[in-house]
Structure 1
Amino acid sequence: MSQAAATGITNPLLGFVHRRRRGAELFLLILALIVGIGAYAAAGIGVQGEVPTDIVAYGGWLAALVLAAHIVVRLVAPYADPVLLPIVAALNGLGLAVIHRLDLASNTTFARQQLTWMTLGVVLFMGTLLVLRDHRVLTRFTYTSGLAAIVLLLLPQVPGIGKEINGARIWIGLGPFSLQPGEVAKVLLVVAFAGYFVLHRDALALAGRRVLFIDLPRGRDFGPILAMWGISLGILVLQSDLGSSLLFFGLFLIMLYVSTERPGWLVVGAIMFVIGAVLAAIVVPRVGQRVDLWLDPFAYFGEGTNDTGRQIVLSQFGMAWGGLLGRGFGEGSPWLVSYANSDFIMASIGEELGLTGVMAVLVLYGLIVERALRVALIARDGFGKLLATGLGGIFALQVFVVVGGVTRLIPLTGLTTPFLSYGGSSLVANWVIIALLLRVSDLARRPLPDLSEDDDAVDDQSTQVIRL
């Protein structure tokens, strides 16, 4: 007789236990390694006509990193989502292969450096899971996280530490290394936003005036969104960083809407975004230039111009040349586009792997966002729901902004493509984000405690567990 029959429970939705699915995760990780190592070998064959001589060492190190991450998940987060880690491993492996292909064309070693950053990212991934056993502990650091994020965002403005690269002052120098503190700040901001909205969502959800069938928020509740709008504009003006400004304000707006379920906040946020965008285009020369390049890049390309449109025009030519199936590794010329291994890595993929390769990558990103939202739906606490939503929102916004800029859907910004682009700060921060998602997922999927054998327990059918 089943437990449900023994206890008299007839509604299977009262409780259930997710299977651990670690075997499925291991199988998917093997497929992800085949993608990463196979792409690395294909890049060598396409450019040099032979398999890279370091394929065994490279493949072994990549496999060791991925399997170590899997073992830690199996030990300390056995009920975590089984799909997230394989997707990330596939994206990171593909990114390393594309960067290696560009290295072969330009005689650089960015892929080796990226593998080092990946190693650090995986170590911090495992450390996060080992140290943080319950994501709800982070609620204690709501305001501390917010303050730390603001300090990190201001660090590039400190003389002697901050560095300006390609017109954007978003870097700090630590000896021979350059880091983007904004990549860490985005994780801290999600923690701060989640904790704040859990405490204040009831007040923020109260409706004010009704305009055109939409309940706008009360005027007294505009403080948080005005503050975030001001911070985003400050980042834009001081650092000339359009991408981070869009990311932070968009992230805040998403989490505000999810916590309050008030469409009025989206209306207010959209109006504020339009006002901020117009002001930025007028006040900040770099933003105005990006808008001009977006509208007509060919007017800034070629002889007789300042040639600032070369990057976007050549990337468009390359993706058009790639067509549906791509030229194949070694058959295109993606290195002609400046920063092809970072800002424009999607253009490199589009040229040599075609629209099919680009769509496959976008599907993988879509799956990350879908799994994050699934975690948010099943999370048992409000903080966990908002944390998972915010972390998934980071990937959704970042991929939209980057791919939209490369394809000229929107003006170009300076954000990196998660797990694909060359860049240590972004890669390490994104691995930590995945660890946080797995921690929330593990607690959400764990079985509820069975109190049926406790003589003092309250007779509540909702505490019974039906194993599926």
Structure 2
Amino acid sequence: MAVVTAVETRPRRNVELVLLVVSLGIAIGAYVLVGIAAEGQVQANWMWVGGGLAVLVLGVHAVLRVVAPYADPVILPITTAINGLGLVVIHRLDLAEETSLATRQLLWTAIGVGAAVAVLWLVRDHRILARYTWTAALLGFALLLLPLLPFIGRNIRGARIWIGLGPLSFQPGEIAKILLALFFAGYLVTARDSLALVGRRFLGLQLPRARDLGPILVAWVLSLGVLVFERDLGTSLLFFGLFVAVLYVATERTSWIVIGMGLFVAGAVLAWRIFSHVQRRVDIWLHPFEPGTFENAFQVVQGLYGMASGGLLGTGLGEGRPDIIPFAESDFIFTAIGEELGLTGIFALLLLYLILVERGLRTAIGARDGFGKLLAAGLSFTIALQCFVVAGGVTRVIPLTGLVMPFLAYGGSSLLSNWIVVAILLRISDAARRPAPAEVTG
């Protein structure tokens, strides 16, 4: 008898703790520096905000030691650093505009962390989620359509993507993206053989059969429906891009990328020719300084001027004027960082996001089941796509879409959904890194 044992894998929770301390130190230190630079004194609430963030993330760390000891040790510290930097920038805007959004952001962080802990505690095996594939599809599409209902749907800044219940408002599309990622992963893990192996070769590409084009055409039509009825370019792009990405990971066929890009270009041109709000976005993108579009492009122009004044190293935390950029705490928080931390700060922020996405894709590669691979890859891609379209929109690489930077921008819907995404990635990474049981062979 020969005994084959698995390679030893350490939990690495102590490494995570050290990285958490570093992340918290950077966030709390930056929070203190903003008060000194902007008003010449340390803000009285720095201990409450810094201590509150520390208690929240250290609580997640303690839960991971119990329920997911082999989870990736880098995901939580990176998330903490980005979330902490968002609190710092929102606090800096509070000092300029005499608001208290940072306190609300910390409250939403607590709600998001609570949801993440609940997911980690209740979902002990991510494969259980595959049972709810079609339930997730129904709930996801229902949440996408919820803002269209009368009385509760809200039209804010031209997009009907919010629901309101009294004084509270929520963006259901943020939760829908998680449910749709779960649906895509569950559906494609069972249908990928027919989508990957059957078809004809044409110009070096393995093209699918006509009847197998149904899923991608349905996703394309639904994404156009979101664009038409809700006037939400960001959610439409995220929804369709997520499906194409998971489809490519499931089948490994380049032809799906080509078909997806072709449908995206066709849909974009069609929307530009037909819908006035899309034409307005394109005009702002191409001609922001022309007299006919300058009023609508004022936000973009102010953001460009702010980043230009920051230069390479920035004006310094608390030394710029990001408050004159409309919605700098949410849609344009990226430009506020570019002004006060400069190009160097922007690169550092994008590097943090890159590491987070890389750890998510590493989790997808290490997952031992097809459903976990597709779900981790899909959730990682949503973070990457959101970062690209937001950074590209404010720098005029692509038109503005209305999405916000994950964990960074002000908004409870985004924080809640993205902390749930982190919890799912941590759960899948625990299963991927956990040592396999010993096998006894004859």
User: In structure 2, what is the Cα distance between the partners aligned to 1:8 and 1:444?
Assistant: 22
Q: Identify the residue that residue 11 of structure 2 maps to in structure 1.
A: 20
1:165-189 per-position Cα deviation (integer Å, ceiling 9, x unaligned): 0000000002211100000000000
Higher CA-based Rg: 1
Deviation at 1:207, TM superposition (A): 4.0
Distance in 2 separating the partners of 1:443 and 1:261: 23
Q: Residue 339 of structure 1 corresponds to which residue in structure 2?
A: 327
SS at match of 1:330: coil
Report the counterpart of residue 371 of structure 1 in structure 2.
359
**Whole-Å Cα distance in 2 between the matches of residues 26 and 237 of structure 1?**
47
Gaps of 5+ in 2: none
1:173 to 160, 164, 176: 164
Aligned residue number for residue 137 of structure 1: 128
Distance 1:57 1:371 in 2: 31
Relative to the length of structure 1, the TM-score reads: 0.93
Aligned to 1:299: 290
Q: 2: distance between equivalents of 1:341 and 1:121?
A: 18
The residue that corresponds to 1:211 in the other structure is 202
Measure how far apart 1:43 and its partner are: 1.1
Q: CA-to-partner distance for each residue in 1:404-455, whole Å, 9 max, x for gaps?
A: 0011110011001000000000001000000000000001111111244xxx
Offset of residue 16 of structure 1: 2.0
| 1:278-289 pair list within 5 angstroms | 278-289=269-280
Of 138, 156, 163, the match for 2:154: 163
What is the identity, as a one-letter code, of the residue corresponding to 1:372? G
Alignment correspondent of 1:314: 302
The equivalent of 1:466 in structure 2 is: none
Contact 1:240-1:284 within 8 A present in 2 as well: no
Residues 361, 376 of structure 2: 8 Å contact kept: yes
User: Residues 199 and 209 of structure 2 are in contact (CA less than 8 Å); yes or no, is this contact kept in structure 1?
Assistant: yes
Q: Give secondary structure in 2 for the equivalent of 1:222.
A: helix
Q: Which residue of 1 aligns with 2:395?
A: 407
Q: Is the 8 A contact 2:83 2:408 kept in 1?
A: yes
- CA distance in 1 between counterparts of 2:155 and 2:268 reads 22
Moved more, 211-220 or 108-117: 211-220
Partner of 1:16, secondary structure, is coil
Q: Does 1:355 align with 2:346?
A: no
1:84 paired residue number:
75
Distance in 2 separating the partners of 1:296 and 1:227:
34
SS in 1 for 2:326: coil
Gap change, CA 1:96 and 1:338, over 3 Å in 2: same
The within-5 A match list for 1:93-132 is 93-132=84-123
Compute the TM-score of the two structures, normalised by the length of structure 2.
0.98
Native 8 Å contact 1:325 1:353 kept in 2: yes
Give the residue type in structure 2 aligned to 1:327.
Answer: T
Tell me which amino acid in the other structure corresponds to 1:148: L
Deviation readout 1:156-215 (Å, 9 max, x if unpaired): 000001000000000000221110000000000010000000110001113423222112
Checking the alignment, whether the CA contact within 8 Å between 2:313 and 2:342 is kept in structure 1 is yes
Distance in 1, Cα, partners of 2:294 & 2:3? 78
Q: Is 1:426 the equivalent of 2:414? A: yes
Alpha-carbon separation, structure 1, partners of 2:70 and 2:294: 56
Q: CA deviation at 1:218?
A: 1.0
Alignment of 1:223-302 (within 5 A): 223-300=214-291
- Over aligned residue pairs, what C-alpha RMSD do you find? 1.3
Aligned to 1:71: 62
1:25-69: CA deviations, max 9, x gaps?
000000010111111111111111111111122221111111101
State the partner residue of 2:47: 56
The alpha carbon displacement at 1:113 in A equals 0.6
Structure 1 unpaired stretches of 5+:
1-5, 453-457, 460-468
8 Å CA contact 1:206–1:218 kept in 2: the answer is no
Corresponding residue SS for 1:380: coil
Task: State the aligned residue count.
Answer: 442
- State the distance in 2 between where 1:373 and 1:164 align: 36
Q: Distance in 2 between matches of 1:297 and 1:15?
A: 59
What is the letter of the counterpart of residue 434 of structure 1? V
Structure-2 separation of matches of 1:306 and 1:215: 47
For residues 83 and 218 of structure 1, the distance between their equivalents in structure 2, rounded to whole angstroms, comes to: 42
Aligned-pair distance for 1:7? 4.7
Task: Give 3-state SS (helix, strand or coil) of 2:164's partner.
Answer: strand
Instruction: Give 2:31's aligned residue.
Output: 40
In percent, how many aligned pairs have the same letter? Answer: 57
Q: Which amino acid aligns with 2:224?
A: L
- Structure 1 residue corresponding to 2:404, chosen from 397, 416, 425: 416
Amino acid at match of 2:195: L
